[in-house]
């Protein structure tokens, strides 16, 4: 009988993989043992059915497991009769941590039942519950989680030791006798009854969850929502809502793919289309000017209990003062959120790391990730062919939507959303996450990759680390990184040849020293060139132009020879002063940004004042265009100029004619989207048809706009198109692109040297 060692790599710890192997071995009559080590799961086994075991390991797995490799070799050691599960071994870290997972049906049935975990807010098993939010070290065992402080009672210990129990080695296992406790501030006897009563009465509560605090109120109470917005200084940004399936379906249209995404173990916020008569929620107050609303199902027993007891959908927005990182500690919450909320729901299980909720949506082309965080991180991405032997790299992303990417052994770990690095507390959180990732995964880079912009805080941080550790540094142009992130996600091989990239976003420093943002690129991982771009138009006021859409409208109308119309539309603004500044190039850098063009057109259709959050004007413009599509959407796109410069002047001249004819704003919004998409698609398609590119990749923050994405895909019919599905198209995906570009260049230099 053959005796072998089987090593299983992937997402195989903390997901019930060892008891799964134990059950297979029992069924197949095999002898040996299984254990966790820092490389994954090791099985040493003897018996006639070894080949059957290997085949089933490759074809079957627990719900949360993901098997990347099954390696089989001879084993010369002795094995006792029977099959057992051994304790974990330490060693150099080569495995990964499982993302946090929503409560499974079996655990929810216990919570709703009459057994010893009835009504218990921390019920979990190997198929669900906290993972990354509580782990403090590897291998993943209870002693290296924030559950180490809670000694198991006799009943939980028996479940934990029994391979036939679904809680076998479930590290967060707990019950009301031995596990974490929940309480209210101000104090109340029954936390659940008190919290539900206060929410129904219109109060605002801070709720300690899985990866941080939420701020919650009744999502159907306009007055409560208004108070929350005023206290949090969040006047218009959409608020996420939590509810059960019936509540969601009463407010929004939900397709089968959207329903499946809501019920995914990651339990993301899913952006859904509101019904014309949404019930149960104050839709206008929750998402002003939008036709969509972000929903999530309860994903912990605590959330399930709270939603059920309240009987209403609940706002569940990030628990933080505006612009700061999400609060995770009890004392921190009491100190920072006291001026926002009327009370607190606290518990005594520590949160090891801050994790915002992931935000996703379904499109006709498949899923789209807007924010990659809880439930998705730290899942890894397998890199394409040609990257397996590359160096270890760490990449630090950009200034906005911070995220870190670690690469090793052909896999990329794109870290969780860390916010915008304009805020000192977010910078501190960014630096803490870097220390956390390198310690937890024992990552030692050979190369550091950063954005080309020298003033980005992430760039300066990466430069300092490279210098301190004496490793190589690569600076990557912003839009090239967007393109490369899309290629890597889609499995485009390192040497597969060039693609055309349509990269549309807000701002990124170009290789010519100008600000880019509306680009067609031609290239691959190591090299890239700009072949077409939107008109370079001044940004009057510099950074102020990102906040004030009317400034961009002034620049665009003046560029189009429509200064008199600008005078009419923008009377009351300091136009003469800004025109002087633009003429002299004072605080008015030249820019080809698609994001700023969206802002300008939103201002042309009536968006007044300043944006209270990034993308507010563009989101309103998308909502108008979507309304036109729902009403039939029969119209041509606005024209743009031909040539290397995608000239915006024809767009504005055609729009001025529409305005004079009183064309409805939703039609003008759709014509804008359609014309922009057609202008870029035509040039990119020409590159493919001329044999200069093999496909077209779509990336950049503007590609979060589903109307624009749909119009681009339609205009690119007959051409291979690469889209983002797992990695954000926005700056949250930049670090992945930087990492693979750094690897490709290093590998190319190494090969050239040989």
Looking at the DSSP assignment, which residues form a beta bridge with residue 680? Answer: none
CB 93 within 8 A of CB 408: no
> Can you tell me whether residue 155 is helix, strand or coil?
helix
Contact 670, 633 (CB under 8 A): yes
Where do the DSSP E strands lie in 524-657? 528-534, 537-538, 590-591, 645-646
User: Cis peptide before 186, with omega less than 30 degrees from 0?
Assistant: yes
Residue located via tokens 């915006």:
648
Do the Cβ atoms of 666 and 468 come closer than 8 Å?
A: no
Q: How many residues are there in the chain?
A: 754
User: Which of 7, 9, 18, 131 is flagged as catalytic?
Assistant: 18
Distance CA 594, CA 584 (A): 24
The Cα 717–Cα 694 span in angstroms is 14
B/e letters for 240-256, b = 16+ CB within 10 Å, e = fewer, are bbbbeeebbbebbebee
Active site residue 36: yes
Contact between 562 and 554 (Cβ < 8 Å): no
* Rounded Cα–Cα distance for residues 140 and 96 (Å): 9
For the chain, the straight-line distance linking the first and the last C-alpha, in angstroms and rounded, comes to 47
Buried-exposed string 142-157: b where 16+ CB fall within 10 A, e elsewhere: bebbbbeebebbeebe
In our burial notation (b when 16+ CB lie closer than 10 A, e otherwise), range 425-445 reads ebbebbeebbebbbebbebeb
CA distance 46 to 44: 7
Q: How are strands ordered across the β-sheet holding 83-85?
A: 66-74, 3-11, 40-46, 31-37, 83-85
Judge if the upstream peptide bond of residue 378 is cis by omega within 30 degrees of 0: yes
Structure tokens at 126: 């190997």
Q: Where are the alpha helices (DSSP H) in 66-190?
A: 105-112, 154-161
**296 beta partners:** 242
Specify whether the CB–CB gap between 237 and 263 falls below 8 A.
Answer: no
- Of the candidates 435, 428, 528, the one whose C-alpha atom is nearest the C-alpha of residue 478 is 528
- Is the previous residue joined to 139 through a cis bond, with omega within 30 degrees of 0? yes
431's enclosing H/E stretch is helix 424-440
Tokens of residue 345, six digits: 């729901």
CB 486 within 8 A of CB 708: no
Cβ contact 340:232 at 8 Å? yes
Cβ atoms of residues 293 and 286 within 8 Å:
yes
Beta bridge partners of 71: 7
Q: Which of 351, 345, 266 lies closest to 303, judged by CA?
A: 345
And the tokens for 76?
């010369």
Identify the active-site residue in 36, 124, 221, 320. Answer: 36
Best CA proximity match to 433, nearest among 352, 508, 361, 332? 352
Name the nearest CA neighbour of 23 among 62, 51, 59, 58. 62
Q: How far is CA 152 from CA 143, 157, 158, 183, 349, in A?
A: 12, 6, 9, 21, 14
Other Cβ atoms less than 10 A from the Cβ of 700: the count is: 29
Residue located via tokens 């983002």: 724
To the query of whether residue 692 is one of the catalytic residues in this protein, the response is no
Catalytic center residues: 18, 36
């Amino acid at each position: 009988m053959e005796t072998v060692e089987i090593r299983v790599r992937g997402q195989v710890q903390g997901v019930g993989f060892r008891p799964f192997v134990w059950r297979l071995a029992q069924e197949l009559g095999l002898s040996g043992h299984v254990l966790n080590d820092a490389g994954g799961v090791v099985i040493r086994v003897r018996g006639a059915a070894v080949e059957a075991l290997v085949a089933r390991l490759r074809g079957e797995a627990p719900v949360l497991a993901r098997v990347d490799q099954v390696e089989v070799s001879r084993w010369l050691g002795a094995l006792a009769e029977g099959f057992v599960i051994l304790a974990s071994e330490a060693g150099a870290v080569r495995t990964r941590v499982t993302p946090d997972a929503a409560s499974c049906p079996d655990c929810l049935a216990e919570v709703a039942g009459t057994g010893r975990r009835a009504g218990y807010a921390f019920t979990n098993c190997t198929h669900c519950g906290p993972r990354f939010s509580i782990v403090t070290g590897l291998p993943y065992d209870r002693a290296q989680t924030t559950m180490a402080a809670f000694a198991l009672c006799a009943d939980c210990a028996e479940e934990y030791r029994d391979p036939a129990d679904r809680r076998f080695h479930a590290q967060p296992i707990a019950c009301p006798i031995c596990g974490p406790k929940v309480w209210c501030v101000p104090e109340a006897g029954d936390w659940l009854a008190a919290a539900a009563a206060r929410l129904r009465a219109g109060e605002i509560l801070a709720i300690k969850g899985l990866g941080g605090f939420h701020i919650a109120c009744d999502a159907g109470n306009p007055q409560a929502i208004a108070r929350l917005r005023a206290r949090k200084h969040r006047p218009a940004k959409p608020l996420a809502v939590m509810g059960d399936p019936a509540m969601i379906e009463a407010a929004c249209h939900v397709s089968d793919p959207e329903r499946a995404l809501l019920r995914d173990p990651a339990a993301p916020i899913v952006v859904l289309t509101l019904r014309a008569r949404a019930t149960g929620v104050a839709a206008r107050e929750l998402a002003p000017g939008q036709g969509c609303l972000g929903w999530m199902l309860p994903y912990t027993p605590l959330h399930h209990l709270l939603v059920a007891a309240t009987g209403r959908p609940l706002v569940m927005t990030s628990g933080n003062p505006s612009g700061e990182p999400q609060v995770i500690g009890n004392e921190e919450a009491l100190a920072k959120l006291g001026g926002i909320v009327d009370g607190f729901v606290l518990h005594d299980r520590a949160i090891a790391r801050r994790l915002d909720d992931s935000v996703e949506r379904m499109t006709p082309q498949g899923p789209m990730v807007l924010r990659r965080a809880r439930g998705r991180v730290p899942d890894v991405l397998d890199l394409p062919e040609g990257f397996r032997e590359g160096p270890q790299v760490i990449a630090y992303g950009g200034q906005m939507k911070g995220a870190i990417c670690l690469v090793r052994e052909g896999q990329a770990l794109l870290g969780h959303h860390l916010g915008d690095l304009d805020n000192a507390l977010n910078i501190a959180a960014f630096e803490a996450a870097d220390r956390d990732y390198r310690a937890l995964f024992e990552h030692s880079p050979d190369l550091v990759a950063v954005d080309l912009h020298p003033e980005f805080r992430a760039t300066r941080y990466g430069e300092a680390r490279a210098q301190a550790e004496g490793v190589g540094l690569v600076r990557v142009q912003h839009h090239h990184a967007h393109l490369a992130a899309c290629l890597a996600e889609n499995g485009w091989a390192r040497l597969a040849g060039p693609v055309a990239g349509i990269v549309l976003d807000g701002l990124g420093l170009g290789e010519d020293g100008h600000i880019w943002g509306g680009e067609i690129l031609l290239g691959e991982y190591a090299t890239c060139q700009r072949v077409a771009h939107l008109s370079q138009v001044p940004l009057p006021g510099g950074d102020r132009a990102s906040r004030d859409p009317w400034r961009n409208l002034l620049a665009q109308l003046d560029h189009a020879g429509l200064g008199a119309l600008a005078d009419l539309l923008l009377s009351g603004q300091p136009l003469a002063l800004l025109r002087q500044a633009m003429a002299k190039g004072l605080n008015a850098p030249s820019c080809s940004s698609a994001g700023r063009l969206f802002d300008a057109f939103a201002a042309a259709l009536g968006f007044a004042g300043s944006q209270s959050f990034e993308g507010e004007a563009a989101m309103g413009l998308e909502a108008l265009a979507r309304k036109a599509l729902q009403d039939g959407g029969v119209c041509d796109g606005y024209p743009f100029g031909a040539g290397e410069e995608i000239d915006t002047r024809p767009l504005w001249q055609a729009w001025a004619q529409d305005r004079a004819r009183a064309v409805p704003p939703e039609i003008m919004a759709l014509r804008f989207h359609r014309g922009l998409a057609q202008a870029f698609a035509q040039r990119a398609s020409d590159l493919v048809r001329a044999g200069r590119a093999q496909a077209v990749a779509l990336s950049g923050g503007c590609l979060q706009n589903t109307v624009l994405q749909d119009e681009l895909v339609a205009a690119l019919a007959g051409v291979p198109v690469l889209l983002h599905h797992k990695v954000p198209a926005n700056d949250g995906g930049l670090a992945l692109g930087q990492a693979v570009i750094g690897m490709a260049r290093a590998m190319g230099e190494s090969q050239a040297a040989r």
